[in-house]
Homo-oligomer: A and B are copies of this chain.
Amino acid sequence: MPGLIEHTQRYRPIHEFLSGELQAVNEIIRRQLASDLPAVNELCRHVARYQGKMLRPTLTLLCGLAGGSEASAGHLVPRHTVRVLAAVSEIIHMATLVHDDVLDDSQMRRSAATVNHLRGNEMAVLLGDYLISNAFHLCSTLDRPEISRRIGETTNELCSGELLQVHHRDDWSIDEATYFAIVERKTASLISLCCRLGAEEAGADATLSEALALYGSRLGVAFQIQDDLLDLIGEERIVGKSLGRDLEKGKLTLPMIHFFDAAAPDDRLAMLEALAEAREGDWTARVRSLLLASRAVDSAHRVAAGLVEEARGQLSAAPESPARQLLDDLALAVISRTS
């Protein structure tokens, strides 16, 4: 939650609960990653800095409240399984960040040096592997094979989404359907599973679990669209990570797809020329100004806003509760964020 939702007086008890739970989640992560090798511990301490929004743990915990019958009565029940699932999701996410930074040649993440920049690509690849391995190991300590199975299915999806994205590298004719296929796999699948498992652990019935899973899926896609928008038109200082990397790495995201869909021939040509220079010099300013002069940013944002409304609509399946309200706020925050 930090950074995504303002703490308001109205929700203070649940904010305090969540903040305590997130601390407990971080403690589980810290203990899981602890090694007898000082070199490994040093790397893990560095990566812990990347944890920012803790979106996945927050959603797991909130759906673990909103999905339960105690939620509306205001009971806040901590559950070991939900905490561990939250930790597993965050470690998986950390692994994808570390490997993404290798793929994107990024130098900065949450205003700190990336592992690849600091210690080289080799260390970063191996550290990502260490994180993935630990995520699965932690999950297996739950003694719940069906959970391990679903986490594994989801990371299979996640990885194939990333592979599909790299497969379409430098493909300036990629369409919206392909973009959504990539994003649903690489981003939305894990977020959706977090919501679903949180809800199920709270005892939610199939209808409610499905609704919260759909909430997570829509929110996940919207989150990625906002990420892609920030990569194109965000302020590096505020976002806290290397920007402009998508185009540099030949990744066409929704705003660019919308640009090409709607552009007049001259603008299309101008953009292709700017992209052709994308690996040399100051090309980003040109891309950015062409993009801002078009309606592509607005229309991508509208798609994200539509998805957020779909996500919020799913919440009516849950009984009214502070947790449900926070899930609603969170969905809105996902597309209004600037970092």
Contact = CB atoms under 8 A, between A and B. Distances in A.
A233 interface: no
Given A40-B160, A155-B133, A125 B103 contact: yes
A309 interface: no
A150 to B, nearest CB: 9
Contacts of A103: 121-122, 125-126
Contacts of A136: 136, 148, 151-152, 155
Nearest to A156: B133
Contact of A137 (B35, B99, B155): B155
Contacts of A10: none
Contacts of A169: 122
Range class of the A interface residue count: 35 or more
B99 A159 contact: no
Contact of A37 (B133, B155, B160): B160
Contacts of A235: none
A130 B156 contact: yes
A156 to B, nearest CB: 5
Interface stretch (A74-82, A139-147, A216-224): A139-147
Interface of A is mostly: helix
A43 interface: yes
Interface string A111-135: 0000000001111011111101110
A149 B141 contact: yes
A322 to B, nearest CB: 34
Contacts of A102: 121-122, 125
Nearest to A155: B133
Contacts of A95: 129
A145 B120 CA distance: 35
A272 interface: no
B130 A129 contact: no
Given A129-B128, A132-B133, A43 B163 contact: yes
Contacts of A156: 130, 133-134, 137
Nearest to A120: B166
Contacts of A155: 133, 136-137
B37 A164 contact: yes
A175 interface: no
Nearest to A32: B156
B159 A129 contact: yes
A35 B185 CA distance: 13
Contact of A162 (B126, B140, B167): B126
B129 A140 contact: no
A144 B145 contact: yes
A298 interface: no
Contact of A130 (B123, B149, B159): B159
Interface string A60-104: 000000000000000000000000000000000001000100110
8 contacts: A40-B164, A99-B129, A132-B133, A133-B159, A136-B136, A137-B149, A140-B151, A143-B146
Closest CB pairs A-B (n = 3): A137-B152, A140-B148, A130-B159
